[in-house]
Amino acid sequence: MTTETTNRMDLTFRRLKEQGRAALIPFLTVGDPDLETSLAIIAELEAAGADIVELGVPYSDPLADGPVIQRASSRALRGNIHLRTCMETALKARESGSELPFILFTYYNPVLQMGLDTFFAELNRHEISGLIIPDLPVEESEEMRTRSRDAGINLIPLVAPTSSERIAKIVSGASGFVYCVSSLGVTGERASFHEGVDRFIESVRQATDLPVAVGFGISTPEQVARFAKICDGVVVGSAIVRKIEEVIILLEDPAKRAEGLLQIRDFVAQLRP
């Protein structure tokens, strides 16, 4: 791994800080509805102003995901998408000229299946800047943190509103950014967030010098703007995955594909802080 790739994410946050802007961080499930379309969608996300993209590895038991992302995973798994193909998507996007830093979002089981040595070697080869593993067992996190650091990959910790006394422990040794989960429960658009979420985010800011991003439930320009005022990044997943689901019929029709992609771009562009 060249440290340049990891710096790609750090440089992005640094540039945005100079511009006084928070990062817009979309999430998509790779392979939904197919790999080639995911590549086209990544290009639309970049054109719409995304600053970093989370590439979700579809999984059969996405325990932290709500129905929208669960459905996206099921669609992608029908196309036999797995961890390595998701990594390859990052490299293909790079080869197509994408400047985006990519975060690989995966549950832990596919990582174990691949084996840690191969996993980190493959992350290097595919120019992945960051890693989110929502179900990483605490007893494994030390080794993953060490391996990530040695590989020059940002292992991004998730901090929940209930983590209060563990925040310092969770963020110590982290890199890239700290991901504040805005609400308890699973992913999915929300009209409101955990009571005291602003105080929670502030407490995370006090505990780390890293950029702090927030996700879970954020789906409208107003919600993005609200959190962009107090964070360095805002993650939007389900709302974008739902838009992809809504236009899938267009994406799968060669005559209407461009229209479908444009609707995704427009949806994301209006979210941008």
Ligand X SMILES: O=P(O)(O)OC[C@@H](O)[C@@H](O)c1c[nH]c2ccccc12
Where along the sequence are the contacts to ligand X (CB under 6 A)? 27, 54, 56, 64-65, 69, 105, 134, 158, 187-188, 215-218, 235-238
| 65: annotated active-site residue | yes
Cα distances from 171 to residues 65, 125, 245, in angstroms, run 23, 27, 34
Q: Is the CB of 1 or the CB of 228 nearer to ligand X?
A: 228
Rounded Cα gap, residues 210 and 107, in angstroms: 23
Catalytic member of 44, 51, 65, 232: 65
Beta strands in the chain, from DSSP E residues, in sequence order = 23-29, 53-56, 102-105, 130-132, 154-155, 158-159, 178-181, 212-215, 233-236
DSSP 3-state of 66? coil
What is the nearest approach in angstroms of ligand X to the Cβ of residue 179?
7
What is the nearest approach in angstroms of ligand X to the Cβ of residue 216?
5
Q: Is the CB of 95 or the CB of 222 nearer to ligand X?
A: 222
- Provide the residue type at 52 as one letter: I
What is the nearest approach in angstroms of ligand X to the Cβ of residue 72?
10
Q: Is the CB of 1 or the CB of 224 nearer to ligand X?
A: 224
Q: Is the CB of 30 or the CB of 158 nearer to ligand X?
A: 158
Residue with smallest beta-carbon separation from ligand X: 237
Q: Is the CB of 161 or the CB of 237 nearer to ligand X?
A: 237
What is the nearest approach in angstroms of ligand X to the Cβ of residue 166?
17
DSSP one-letter string for 95-118? HTT----EEEE--HHHHHHH-HHH
Catalytic member of 32, 46, 54, 122: 54
Rounded Cα gap, residues 124 and 148, in angstroms: 10
Rounded Cα gap, residues 73 and 272, in angstroms: 25
What is the nearest approach in angstroms of ligand X to the Cβ of residue 187?
3
Rounded Cα gap, residues 140 and 127, in angstroms: 23
Could you give the residue numbers annotated as active site? 54, 65
